[in-house]
Amino acid sequence: MAVRVLLAEDHALMRAGLRSLLKELGGVEVVGEAGEGHEALRLVAELRPDVVLLDISMPGLGGLEVAARVVREHPDTKVLVLSMHRNEEYVLEALRAGATGYILKDADAVELGVALRAVARGDRYLDPAVSAVVFDALKESAPSVRAPLDRLTPRQRETLQLIAEGNTTKEIAGKLNLRVKTVESHRTQLMKRLGVHDVAGLVRCAIRSGLVSAER
């Protein structure tokens, strides 16, 4: 039986390339495509794919939050994160969010096929290029240390992403259907929980945690 895959990637050309690549692999069926985080969640609920091939840097709702919600709301759907980032912080945040696998965008077709089949059957998969550094990071990290994003509610993570993407308080209020004062309260709580004192600090924290990409 073919592995049913939802492509969640905001760049149309990248999606087209992935779709073509997966078609050539055989044993994989692309059942849907999403270019934005909220759309990805809607399609997961509608299509119930076996695997979401998910870009870590999605607009609207970041890939990490999408992964966390998919895992929580649709446990039968596995998440394979697709990313350009080799830094262990990005990989660890993806795994903490509930992703079953992590593969780099420069992986070849064979490696992508191996990763998709592995996560579809419930196994974990790490791109060979990042597995060694991640293993070392996990070995050295203290179990009592919480990841920064673990201190935040889903709404706070969503607000943090929108702040880091350069949205004004009014724009964030409009996108989240909240009052401006509520957004201001969220921002204050974000600073308190993350131990920063200005918006620049929030942006740096969002980048370090992989919520947004510095390259975007």
Top-ranked range on mean pLDDT: pick from 32-36, 87-91, 187-191: 32-36
Residues with Cβ within 8 Å of 29's Cβ and at least 6 positions away in sequence, in order, are 2, 3, 4, 5
User: Does a structural domain hold residue 196?
Assistant: yes
- The parent domain of residue 179 ranges over 148-208
> Residue 27 has what pLDDT?
87
Tell me the pLDDT tens digit for each residue of 1-26.
899 999 999 999 999 999 998 888 88
Residues 56, 72 within the same domain: yes
Mean pLDDT over residues 168-187, rounded? 87
Max Cα-Cα span within the chain: 53
Q: What is the pLDDT of residue 143?
A: 44
214 falls within a domain: no
**Mean pLDDT, residues 104-110 taken together:** 86
Domain-embedded: residue 93: yes
CATH number of the domain that residue 37 is part of: 3.40.50.2300
Instruction: Kindly indicate the confidence band of residue 136, based on its pLDDT and cuts at 50, 70 and 90.
Output: low
Domain count, the chain: 2
Q: Tell me, yes or no, whether 10 and 88 share the same domain.
A: yes
**Residue 135 within a domain:** yes
pLDDT, tens digit, 9 for 90 and up, residues 139-149: 555 444 446 67
- Asked which of 140, 161, 179 is the last residue of a domain, the reply is 140
**Are 83 and 157 in the same domain?**
no
Q: Residue 56 domain-assigned?
A: yes
Whether 16 and 38 map to the same domain: the answer is: yes
Is 215 within a domain?
no
Q: How many CB atoms lie within 10 A of CB 127?
A: 22
Same domain, 77 and 8: yes
In order, the DSSP letters of the chain are -PEEEEEE-S-HHHHHHHHHHHHHHSSEEEEEEESSHHHHHHHHHHH--SEEEEESS-SSS-HHHHHHHHHHH-TTSEEEEEES---HHHHHHHHHHT-SEEEETT--HHHHHHHHHHHHTT--EE-HHHHHHHHHHHHHS-TTPPPGGGGS-HHHHHHHHHHHTT--HHHHHHHHT--HHHHHHHHHHHHHHHT--SHHHHHHHHHHTTSS-TT-
* Residue that terminates a domain, selected from 91, 114, 140: 140
The pLDDT of residue 206: 83
Burial of 74 (0-12, 13-18, 19+ CB in 10 A): middle
Q: Is the pLDDT of residue 32 over 70?
A: yes
Residue 216 domain-assigned?
no
Q: Is residue 197 part of a domain?
A: yes
Please name which of 119, 129, 118 lies closest in space to residue 99, comparing C-alpha atoms.
119
Question: What is the overall mean pLDDT for the chain?
Answer: 85
Identify the band that residue 130 occupies on the pLDDT scale cut at 50, 70 and 90: confident
- The CATH number of the domain holding residue 159 is 1.10.10.10
Q: Which of 122, 140, 158 is the last residue of a domain?
A: 140
Confidence (pTM): 0.68
Could you tell me if 49 and 100 lie in one domain?
A: yes
